[in-house]
Amino acid sequence: MKAFLIDRYAKGAALRLGEVPEPELRESDVLVQIHATSVNPLDGKIRDGEFKLILPYRLPLILGNDVAGVVIRVGPKVRRFKPGDEVYARPAKDRIGTFAEVIAMDEADVAIKPKNLTMEEAASLPLVALTAWQALVERANVKKGQKVLIHAGSGGVGTIAIQLAKHVGATVATTTSTANIDLVRSFGADVVVDYRKDNFEEVLQGYDVVLNSLGKDTLEKSLRVLRPGGKIISISGPPDPEFAREIGAGWPLQQVMRLLSAGIRRKSKRHGVGYSFLFMAANGGQLGEIASLVEAGAIRPVVDQVFPFEKANEALAYVETGRAKGKVVIAVK
């Protein structure tokens, strides 16, 4: 099968299109013919080597973290899927590889595709929707009437997180550029801060939850908008000791993460708020719940552009400009 690979970690390097064997099917796996995948900033970070301590992949590596397609074969222990099923998924972090024609995944990580979406729309959702769900529903336990700040509201995670927080009944603020104000309002954002004109930390106060996907400065300024007892969840780091325990990191790596996050944890404590780092996990059950929300019209995917498979490098380069609204999709089949 054809696939886009990296042979070594190199910042900004092009992916190599090559022929590779089809993946082996384990007894609890579904083999999926990929119709579409999407590009996430994570793909570029993996290629650049930023995650090699956390995710020790064997090279060469097929990139790609989102998939929508059709089941073509199932392992002997699979009970939830059959050949012909239309599915979508974010593969487990140690089994990525959706920039390809076929992928094998554990059935626990897979869900039936929302019936009202195209393959391209469905492929835009898994990683960002699971990130929003695990941050807002699972970790922050956002409730009706709470105030939530979601940074970068026009981005992949932001567009879905705004809709999910509104569905739960929260009052939602977001940061974005002037050009995207109407877009984020269309998802339900109640308060929009144009970062080109205003400092969000001077405009907002008394928030229960902040979802951060930006850099260190934004993370630290976000502490000021939280009420005492509030929570800040960051998907852009720094990783904390709790995350190190979650992934079963050895003692040396635990100490590295303790040091990396020491500053923000100390400042959070001083403000009387909680800090945690989130690296989303594959979860077919949660994708099933997200599919129900999509079919009910509570969440809609946001696709900026669809690239053909052979232009995967151009798709990745476009995402890295930071100008995409929502998600950038690659049509494989």
Report pLDDT for 299.
Answer: 98
- In the DSSP assignment, the letter for residue 240 is -
Give me the residue spans of the domains in the chain.
Answer: 2-124+302-331, 127-277
Helices and strands (H, E) in the chain, number of each type? 12, 16
Class of domain 2-124+302-331: alpha beta
Report pLDDT for 70.
Answer: 98
Neighbouring CB atoms inside 10 A of 205's CB total: 11
The tens digit of pLDDT for each residue in 136-147 reads 999 999 999 999
Listed in sequence order, the residues at least 6 apart from 154 whose beta carbon sits closer than 8 Å to its beta carbon are 176, 177, 180, 183, 184, 325, 326
Report pLDDT for 145.
Answer: 98
Taking 70 as the pLDDT cut, the residues of the chain under it are none
Report pLDDT for 237.
Answer: 87
Q: Which of 8, 7, 29 is nearest to 20 (CA)?
A: 7
Report pLDDT for 295.
Answer: 98
Question: Is there a contact between 122 and 49 (Cβ–Cβ < 8 Å)?
Answer: no
CA distance 254 to 258: 6
Structure-token pair, residue 320:
């890295």
Q: Which residue has tokens 């400065």?
A: 217
Report pLDDT for 18.
Answer: 97
Report pLDDT for 140.
Answer: 98
pTM of the model: 0.97
Report pLDDT for 92.
Answer: 97
Listed in sequence order, the residues at least 6 apart from 318 whose beta carbon sits closer than 8 Å to its beta carbon are 39, 305, 307, 324, 328
Neighbouring CB atoms inside 10 A of 144's CB total: 8
> DSSP for 189-244?
-SEEEETTT--HHHH--SEEEEEE-S-HHHHHHHGGGEEEEEEEEESS----HHHH
CATH topology of domain 127-277: Rossmann fold (3.40.50)
The tens digit of pLDDT for each residue in 119-134 reads 999 999 999 999 999 9
- Torsions phi, psi of 300, nearest 5? -125, 140
CA distance 313 to 238: 28
> DSSP for 139-185?
IS---TT-EEEESSTTSHHHHHHHHHHHHHT-EEEEEE-GGGHHHHH
210: β partners? 149, 232
Question: Is there a contact between 232 and 174 (Cβ–Cβ < 8 Å)?
Answer: no
Q: Which amino acid is at 52?
A: K
End-to-end CA, the chain: 12
Question: Is there a contact between 128 and 303 (Cβ–Cβ < 8 Å)?
Answer: no
Report pLDDT for 190.
Answer: 98
CA distance 177 to 35: 33
